[in-house]
Amino acid sequence: MQWYWLPDYLPRFLEGILVTLELLGLSIFFGMALAIPIGLVQVTGPWPLAWAARLFCTVIRGTPLLIQIWLIYYGLGSLFPSIPGIRETMIWPLLREAFPYAVVAFSLSVAGYEGEVMRGAFRGVPRGELEAARAMGMSPFTVLRRIWLPRALQNVFPTLAGEFILTLKSTPLAATITVYEVYGIGSIVRQETYRIYEPLLFVALIYLLLTFVMVIGFRLLERRMPRRTA
């Protein structure tokens, strides 16, 4: 084992950790923003919407994330330049970077898996509570905002926490489309130093620590949640 390279590359690993966390945070944010409506329409929505949401979840959960990432980056990315006039628009600089494609791919993946979780969560809230809220004269949207959504999230929080950790563990796939997060930096070190094990072990250690921090963080959050003791 030789670790002489570590001090030189440490700053780049820190940058890589930031990229990983940024990718993870954005994907969870956009993914959950999509997952909540996707779960909701499957419980109360009109059938075409419910059906479309169901199809979306099945497709996302039934195909490898790697294929989804490549489809969005190489597939969509190769179609965009052929749209006339797109190079003059504001979004063109974004379309040439890899990072936005990674965020889109990971957000859709989070939306698919968590949409399924949210479907069960919305269904699991006791009917009586929603009826009581309606009887108090709340509008449907207020019921959702004050009763249905908080109760649903509270019930599945441990499940969601586990799923977000799985998302963290899938972020190295972004390195395959040239997003240099922790794993990507590790590959650079491997190419430049010709060491096989040490960079990989160091990358594994970083992920172990990140997972550990996330587990502790979610546990603290969970403890702060009000929980009715029967």
Partner 1 sequence: MDNFSDLLALSPPGWGGNLLMGLLHTVQIAAGAYGLGLLIGLMGALGKIHGGPVLRWGLEIYTTVIRAVPELVLILLLYYAGTDLLNALRESLGLERVDINGLWAGIYVIGLVQGAYSTEVFRGAFQAVPHGQVEAARAMGLRPLTVLRRITLPIMLPYALPGLSNLWLITTKDTALLAVVGFSELALETKQAAGATREYFMFYMVAGGLYLALTLVSSLGFGLLERRLRRGQPTQM
Q: Which residues bind partner 1 (CB under 8 A)?
A: 58-59, 61-68, 70-71, 74-79, 168-173, 176, 183, 186, 196-197, 200-201, 203-204, 207-208, 211-212
Measured from the CB of residue 139, what is the shortest distance to partner 1 in angstroms? 34
How far, in Å, CA of 105 to CA of 132, rounded? 40
Residue 219's nearest CA partner among 148, 135, 150, 161 is 161
Residue 202's nearest CA partner among 7, 24, 25, 21 is 7
**Is 180 in contact with 102 (CB distance < 8 Å)?**
no
Instruction: Identify the three-state secondary structure at position 19.
Output: helix
Residue closer to partner 1 by CB (options 80, 225) is 80
Residue closer to partner 1 by CB (options 18, 59) is 59
Measured from the CB of residue 47, what is the shortest distance to partner 1 in angstroms? 21
Measured from the CB of residue 148, what is the shortest distance to partner 1 in angstroms? 24
Residue closer to partner 1 by CB (options 67, 136) is 67
Measured from the CB of residue 197, what is the shortest distance to partner 1 in angstroms? 7
Residue closer to partner 1 by CB (options 50, 201) is 201
123-to-105, 120, 140, 149 alpha-carbon distances in Å: 27, 5, 16, 11
